[in-house]
Structure 1
Amino acid sequence: MISLVRVKSLPSRNSDIGQMSQSCTVEMIQSPDQLAMPNGGFKYGSDRILLCIQGDMNMPSGIVAVSTTPPYDVEQVVNSYHGRPFSSPNDVVVSATDGSIWFTDPPYGYHQGFRPPPELPPQVYRFDSRDGSIRAVADGLTKPNGLCFSPDEATLHVTDTACISGRSWATFSPAQPGGAHIYAYTVSRISGQPFLINKRLFAHADNGVPDGIKCDSHGNVYSGCGDGIYVWNQGGVLLGKILVEGGVANFCFGEEGELFIGGETKLWYARLRARSARTITSVLGQRL
């Protein structure tokens, strides 16, 4: 785990890579023992982060809440579907409507050799912390990966990364059905409960797979792909790409147009304008 400190001390956008790299303080954090193969995360309240824990052969997978200050206390949120263990949860979001926790659970842990055979199919789940109930809300996906709500939470976007079936990009199969797709679902309430209906293909990544996914305040959809971050409008039209060397696995928005971008071995920082992205400058160039 890492923590970016004093990010606001970064110089102006006219600074070169060397100046930018030297001005950002990065602190390495020792991960708590309970965090076995952590993956996607989401801000949870004012002082905690939800993390997907993929687990290993001895430690179960699930969703945990981690405090953002030392000693980084870990609280288990959910680790099974009615007693059946999850495979390897990948990404998580929190509904602003009711505080429920939504997450994906692909079988990557098993395919990559650090989890036992799955006992559940690849699905999207919704956990309600108010009453402890959990529901499977989407199936029919091969490798459900990233997910995000539209600003009004009328739509849920889910990426499917079936193109990668094993331990590395050596197993990349671009012709795999559903292998590099983003699907959109309409969120409809029935008997007071949200259901995902009207599944439709939203977009297909032309390079790599769409991994992490986010929406901005205008409803535009961003996803980390093989050569950078792609940006689509709400109608699925590609507006452009933020090209990043080595591609993008995941990313998150900061304040005032900040964008923190995670590659496989590098962390990048960008500032966005209202309609376009500025040139990306490396924050941390060494191997993480």
Structure 2
Amino acid sequence: MTTVSIADIQVLPLEVKIADRIAESNGSIQFVSQLKYQSPQLTSPRPFESPPTSDTLTIIQYSPELGTLIGPSPTHSLLLSTLTTSKNPFFHEACVYLPRTDELYLTSNLLQSSSTSLYPTILISRLKLTRSPSSLQPNTIAKLDWAKLRPPPGIDMPNGGTAYREGILFCAQGSVVPGTGGIYYMPRTAPPQALVKGWYGREFNSVNDVVVTRDGGIWFTDPCYGFEQGFRRRPELPNQVYRFEPTTGECRVVAGEWERCCGICFSPDERRCYVTDTGMVHGDGTRDLMRPATIYVFDVVYEGGQPFLKGRRTFAFPTRGVPDGVRCDEHGNVYAGTGAGLEIWNEGGCLLGRIDVPGGKGIANFGFGKEGEIFLCGEQRLWVVQLDGGKVEERRRVEEEERRRVEREREEEAERRRVVEESEVD
């Protein structure tokens, strides 16, 4: 397929609204204050000098802790949009960033065929990013080349993914054709390889999300959305979470009793596992507000030399919609794509804030890029957010080093004076 080049990408400051939690808990949505970051480094128009555009993102801050993450001058850019062209939802899932090549891979939502006799399809998008050479805006995306790719043979209806070795692990949801679906490794320069396609003779339902732990274990979720959306055969298994050991070929069920398990991730120390349940939303789009829309957390414990998920408990419930994709940052904070946009909790389950996206549908997934960089998949739109929290921590580190330097100089000066005074006495 052809490649589309996008240049002159605007970098815009992010508006931050500080919510009044007490007022909101009493049923009134109020904001204590509104911060408009106007960084002098930005050369693009200021979006809040006039009414915000339909592509504008907004940060809602519920806790002062969020300030450490977002920093003094967070920004965002709209990278791609199909709203005024095909309106196709090309930016739905996966959102896998490969740092070595500075590339981003995404999967689309269902793309309907023009023929009623054909099943829907899913395409893979590959974005080659070009960074700004400006020292004022280092690592800012200045240009991208967007290629839409048909999934290679075997990777039927790809959904979630994660970086793996020299390529990507893709979740192939499968099709109505027997023997399809599973976890596939797609190297950048070689045909894909099937790693696990079923559980002891039974096909998976429609593998949704995948993560790899440091010991090489491959953990993935398997809900029944493919069947509900009409492109997969009737399920042969319950909706479950699995762990696959590639060195032995062993595939274990590690968590059951789900409505629809979707996103999965681990804490930085891998002692906790987070799994989202999107049971509130059925495959045909209907919703049952009494069903789960929940992030659950498990303890990872070892018995008989094998990892188990124990102590299942509710971690968080989103402010809007369902939590789909979920990830942890290096500090243990938990991020999830929800009906509002991107919601962020600390490791204690307290909501720190969220990044609201326009359109009223939120995001299904997102991905971390370079330091402080987050890509947001908004179906017909793709944004990148640049948080500035790293600069806050760096500034604190520099300030602490400067404080210690001043203290050392004072101590050295006091010691010199003491020596001089003692010599004068002698």
Give the structure 1 partner of residue 362 of structure 2.
247
Report Cα offsets for 1:198-229 as digits up to 9, x if no partner: 00000011211100000000000000001100
Query: Residue 38 of structure 1: CA displacement?
Result: 0.3
Report Cα offsets for 1:174-200 as digits up to 9, x if no partner: 222xx2100000000001100110000
Of 160, 169, 173, the match for 1:50: 169
Structure number with the higher helix fraction is: 2
1:120 aligns with 2:240: no
Separation in structure 2 between the aligned mates of residue 213 and residue 190 of structure 1, nearest angstrom: 26
Of 88, 91, 102, the match for 2:219: 102
Give the structure 2 partner of residue 24 of structure 1.
144
Give the structure 1 partner of residue 274 of structure 2.
157
Give the structure 2 partner of residue 258 of structure 1.
373
Give the structure 1 partner of residue 257 of structure 2.
140
Give the structure 2 partner of residue 282 of structure 1.
none
Which residue type is aligned with residue 110 of structure 1? Answer: F
Task: Name the Cα RMSD after superposition.
Answer: 2.0
Residues 10 and 3 of structure 1, relative CA distance in 2, 3 Å threshold:
farther
Give the structure 1 partner of residue 156 of structure 2.
36
Q: Is the 8 A contact 1:9 1:24 kept in 2?
A: no
Query: Residue 4 of structure 1: CA displacement?
Result: 1.6
Query: Residue 26 of structure 1: CA displacement?
Result: 1.9
Q: Is the 8 A contact 2:132 2:142 kept in 1?
A: no
Separation in structure 1 between the aligned mates of residue 131 and residue 157 of structure 2, nearest angstrom: 30
Which residue type is aligned with residue 35 of structure 1? Answer: I
Residues 7 and 227 of structure 1, relative CA distance in 2, 3 Å threshold:
farther
Of 314, 320, 340, the match for 1:201: 314
Residues 275 and 8 of structure 1, relative CA distance in 2, 3 Å threshold:
closer
Structure number with the higher strand fraction is: 1
Name which of structure 1's ranges 220-229 and 247-256 shifts more when overlaid on structure 2. 247-256
Query: Residue 11 of structure 1: CA displacement?
Result: 7.6
Q: Is the 8 A contact 1:66 1:73 kept in 2?
A: yes
Q: Is the 8 A contact 1:104 1:125 kept in 2?
A: yes
Give the structure 1 partner of residue 349 of structure 2.
236
Residues 11 and 87 of structure 1, relative CA distance in 2, 3 Å threshold:
farther
Question: How do 1:64-75 residues align onto structure 2 when only pairs under 5 Å count?
Answer: 64-69=184-189, 73-75=191-193
Q: Is the 8 A contact 1:11 1:23 kept in 2?
A: no
Query: Residue 266 of structure 1: CA displacement?
Result: 1.9
TM-score, with length taken from structure 1: 0.86
Query: Residue 13 of structure 1: CA displacement?
Result: 9.5
Residues 258 and 12 of structure 1, relative CA distance in 2, 3 Å threshold:
farther
Query: Residue 32 of structure 1: CA displacement?
Result: 1.2
Give the structure 2 partner of residue 286 of structure 1.
none
Residues 196 and 239 of structure 1, relative CA distance in 2, 3 Å threshold:
same
Q: Is the 8 A contact 2:372 2:390 kept in 1?
A: no
Q: Is the 8 A contact 2:267 2:328 kept in 1?
A: yes
Give the structure 2 partner of residue 268 of structure 1.
383
Give the structure 2 partner of residue 87 of structure 1.
205
TM-score, with length taken from structure 2: 0.59
Residues 7 and 248 of structure 1, relative CA distance in 2, 3 Å threshold:
farther
Report Cα offsets for 1:14-53 as digits up to 9, x if no partner: 9xxxxx99833322233213221101001111x1100000
Give the structure 2 partner of residue 285 of structure 1.
none
Query: Residue 272 of structure 1: CA displacement?
Result: 1.8
- Unaligned segments of structure 1, at least 5 residues: 15-19, 277-288
Give identity over the alignment, percent.
45
Q: Is the 8 A contact 1:212 1:250 kept in 2?
A: yes
Residues 275 and 223 of structure 1, relative CA distance in 2, 3 Å threshold:
farther
Report Cα offsets for 1:69-114 as digits up to 9, x if no partner: 4xx5210000011111100000000011x10100000011111111
Q: Larger C-alpha radius of gyration, 1 or 2?
A: 2
Separation in structure 1 between the aligned mates of residue 133 and residue 235 of structure 2, nearest angstrom: 45
Query: Residue 8 of structure 1: CA displacement?
Result: 1.9
Name which of structure 1's ranges 29-38 and 236-245 shifts more when overlaid on structure 2. 29-38
Separation in structure 2 between the aligned mates of residue 22 and residue 100 of structure 1, nearest angstrom: 37
Q: Is the 8 A contact 2:373 2:387 kept in 1?
A: yes
Give the structure 1 partner of residue 324 of structure 2.
211
Separation in structure 2 between the aligned mates of residue 260 and residue 8 of structure 1, nearest angstrom: 15
Query: Residue 267 of structure 1: CA displacement?
Result: 1.6
